[in-house]
Amino acid sequence: MPLLHNEIPELRSRIDVPGALTATAGLFAVVYGLANSETNGWADATTIGMLAASVVLLSAFVVIQTRSSNPLLPLRVVLDRDRGGSFLAMVLAGAGMFGVFLFLTYYLQQNLEFSPIQAGFAFVPMTFSIVIAATMGSTKLLPKYGPRPLIGGGMLLAAAGLVSLTAIGVDTAYASHVLPGILVIGAGMGLVFSSAMATATFGVQPSDAGVASAMVNTMQQIGGSIGTALLSTLAASAVADRLAEAATRPDAALAAQAAVQGYTTAFWWAAGIFAVGGVICAALLTQRSIEVAQEVDTPAGEPAFAHG
């Protein structure tokens, strides 16, 4: 008896080519515009033109999605408050996390003179912190309290960890100035990731399950791209300003101090992104998520959110 059957669907969905083109071009434009501002400044015509083009293209993408018979991103998936808040959390988490990895890697290798392998191992405690917090969040905390306090609180916790990283200096120690901060950031991000991923895919219609799941990963990558471009620009501006202030005595020590100022500037901005994002996400998320989770029957008393 055959177990697999080749079933051909009666209706084949067509690819939303206009939607894919406008979304891709719009995201490219915003990232390119932010990256260009690092070298040519915010007032540069290319920077302004690309950022303006991104607004037009992404607006066109939204319009296309409302009119397309087979939209790339059905807006009903995003307009749900809990799901939309979760997607926003993933964007902001990606923006902040990529910034942490980028600038902290620079600091570890250039200032503390870690080798690439040592710098990689330096992030291992953060990974453990993320895993522990995500496990506790998804199995114990999320079914009991819902996503609002976990996503909002997790982002504020990550913001606090980033603020602690702004205390680094040219020759401060990893154990005293870096390790505590990345442990706190990891705990906050673990709560955000587990709660946002579960909430973004919970209760979605079967026909939209693939879109909702893909959007979670896509939002993180989009946030990472935009965050890296933006934070790099802000860090480079801080370094240039510091060097310009002491142009009369350029030396290696000054260059190291300027680099650290660039890193801490990026950490401050990333902390601000997390703090503001935590407040916004907490305002967007509703109590409905926890109410639904409590009403859904799950096998052997397992938490509803654990099933995504």
Q: Return phi, psi of residue 70, to 5°.
A: -130, 70
Dist CA 236 CA 242 (whole Å): 10
Dist CA 46 CA 154 (whole Å): 37
Closest CA to 293 of 82, 101, 73, 99: 82
Six-digit token pair at 176?
A: 């005293």
Six-digit token pair at 213?
A: 């799941």
Look up the CATH number of domain 77-307: 1.20.1250.20
pLDDT at 144: 87
Q: Give the pLDDT band (50/70/90) at residue 267.
A: very high
- Give the amino acid at 189: M
Q: Give the pLDDT band (50/70/90) at residue 305.
A: very low
Could you read off the pLDDT of 187-232 as tens digits, one per residue? 999 999 999 988 888 878 887 788 888 888 888 888 888 888 889 8
pLDDT at 4: 66
Angle at CA of residue 130, ends 126 and 133, nearest 5°: 135
Q: Is the pLDDT of residue 161 over 50?
A: yes
Closest CA to 196 of 142, 160, 144, 145: 142
Q: Is the pLDDT of residue 298 over 70?
A: no
The residue among 257 and 248 whose pLDDT is bigger is 257
Could you read off the pLDDT of 228-245 as tens digits, one per residue? 888 988 898 888 887 776
Six-digit token pair at 46?
A: 């290319």
pLDDT at 211: 84
Q: Is the pLDDT of residue 24 over 80?
A: yes
**pTM score:** 0.82
Dist CA 62 CA 82 (whole Å): 20
* Long-range Cβ contacts of 60-63 (<8 Å, 24+ apart): 60/22, 60/26, 61/19, 61/22, 61/23, 61/26
Looking at every residue in the chain, the average pLDDT score rounds to 84
Dist CA 119 CA 130 (whole Å): 18
Q: Identify the residue whose tokens are 């995003």.
A: 78
pLDDT at 55: 95
Q: Is the pLDDT of residue 56 over 80?
A: yes
3-state secondary structure 26-49: HHHHHHHHHHHHHHHCCCCHHHHH
Six-digit token pair at 241?
A: 């300003």
Closest CA to 170 of 120, 242, 218, 234: 242
C-beta of residue 174 within 8 angstroms of C-beta of residue 122:
yes
Q: Is the pLDDT of residue 250 over 80?
A: no
pLDDT at 264: 94
Q: Is the pLDDT of residue 92 over 80?
A: yes
Could you tell me how many residues make up the chain? 308
The residue among 294 and 185 whose pLDDT is bigger is 185
Of the chain, the end-to-end C-alpha distance in Å amounts to 34
| Alpha-carbon Rg for the chain in angstroms | 22
